[in-house]
Amino acid sequence: MASAARQIRNQPTQLAASGSVLRVNLGCGTTAPEGWYNIDNSPTIWLSRIPAAAKLFRTAPWPRNVHRHDVLKGLPFSDEGVDFIYSSHTFEHFTYPQSVALTRECLRVLKPGGVLRIVVPDLERIVRDYLADSNSMASHRFVGRLLLGHTWRDLLHPGAHHSQMFDARSLTTMLQEAGFAAPQTSSFGASEIPDVLEVELEERRNESLYMEAQKVNAPPSRNLKIYHHAQTH
């Protein structure tokens, strides 16, 4: 990954102007607000921008500000050039070694004090639901929710299936293995990232595990501001 990252990290970005705050949204899907550098690698992105192909393949309405890029080849940012990185329901689609390598890339591009927030399906919650399910087919409901395994459909919809599942312990271990010293379990909308609700979806709230980690070159500050974001309806 390192050599690939060196080849792309100098690509120009619309949000990396000197003095600006650079917030990166990895695996954004169609949630791509302005003010974020939104990245996804779905092949349907370019199909959606060809009217005939979009109609034929019934692609999602991808926003124009989504940058198609394979993050497993490295992140297109210079060392210590990013303030915040957010990723929701993306890391479970990679293998564990791929996830560790990508997390190290996040550490590379974050500024000192920068924050990585990862949201994934919560395996512990799914297991609790299974144990509380009295239905005779509870076992099959459980396996179905894991979405493990891959089919040919992943060629067009690579986010349809999972390669792994996380609980708080394994996600903490992954972040620590990548070099983040003190990952912290979080909750919906409670983040050190300003305006996180621009990318954090309410419909994922009851199925997700939230975790944040700060890049530090010294012991973490004890007076970091936590943004408890009020929801609007």
pLDDT score of 195 more than 80: yes
Residue 55 has a pLDDT of 64
Cα(35)–Cα(222) distance, integer angstroms: 28
Cα(162)–Cα(143) distance, integer angstroms: 12
Residue 17 has a pLDDT of 43
Site of tokens 């395996």: 123
pLDDT score of 230 more than 60: no
pLDDT score of 4 more than 80: no
Rounded to the nearest integer, the mean pLDDT of the chain is: 84
Residue 227 has a pLDDT of 46
**For the chain, what percent of residues have pLDDT higher than 70?**
76
- Lowest-pLDDT range, 18-27, 94-103, 121-130, 147-156? 147-156
Q: What average pLDDT score do residues 100-109 get? A: 98
3-state secondary structure of 85: strand
pLDDT confidence band for 1 (50 / 70 / 90):
low
Which CATH entry fits the domain spanning 2-122+163-228: 3.40.50.150, 3.40.50.720, 1.20.1730.10, 2.30.40.10?
3.40.50.150
Residue 153 has a pLDDT of 60
- Between 2 and 55, where is the model more confident? 55
Residue 166 has a pLDDT of 97
pLDDT score of 94 more than 90: yes
> How many CB atoms sit inside 10 A of residue 126's CB?
17
> What are φ and ψ of residue 17, in 5° steps?
-65, 150
Q: How much is the pTM?
A: 0.82
